[in-house]
Amino acid sequence: MTAYNTAYNDEKAARALLVRTARSLFTRGLTHGSTGNLSVRLADGSLLLTPTGSSLGTVEEADLSRTDLTGRHLDGPRPTKEAFLHAAFYRSRPSVHAVVHLHSTHATAVSCLDGVDSADALPPLTAYYAMRVGTLPLLPYHAPGDSSLEPLAERTARTHHAILLANHGPVVAGATLEKASDAIEELEETAKLHLLLRGHATRPLTPEQAAALATGPS
């Protein structure tokens, strides 16, 4: 199997990092109940993911699942039913080594609004949003775990490292788990600002200002 240039050469350390990150996201209210899932790509190309039905607040290192890039279960408990979304991002973006999917409140609220621009669901209200997220396509509604979303997600991931699933929540890929987590948190805060400012005249960054700041997932 092809080796990847990644920080996640040590599976034990990667498991510890996934659990620490999951706890942090949960305790800070960025996800709830048994929603949300995280993954990293290991040096051998396999994926380490949170399992189906688990809470990011209580998941343990021994609970994590491992799949290949097609989503085939290799070992551990059964992976999240949205493992195909993670695999789609990794296949499309060889430079990323982590994916975070949350049902964070404000981003999910934006995904439920009528009239959202499907090409870019949030305006670039802040410089950090432009740097860490960029444009945010809104993908049409599919039931959680509906693998018919996979081809569309894979195509979209070729040009965007962040997407918003209609009536569902955001998915963000990054070069590291820290970067993916920072980006999805920035997305959530921008969604909150967007909702707070509804009905007010806003002054987003210009396309030129946003383009000058865009850096992608690395």
Catalytic residue among 8, 11, 60, 128: 128
Catalytic residue among 8, 11, 61, 82: 82
Decide if 129 is catalytic.
no
Decide if 128 is catalytic.
yes
Q: In three state form, how does the secondary structure of the chain look?
A: CCCCCCCCCCHHHHHHHHHHHHHHHHHCCCCCCCCCEEEEECCCCCEEECECCCCCCCCCHHHCEEECCCCCEEECCCECCCHHHHHHHHHHCCCCCEEEECCCHHHHHHHHCCCCCCCCCCCCCCHHHHHHCCCCCEECCCCCCCHHHHHHHHHHHCCCCEEEECCCEEEEEECCHHHHHHHHHHHHHHHHHHHHCCCCCCCCCCHHHHHHHCCCCC
Q: Which residues are annotated as catalytic? A: 82, 128
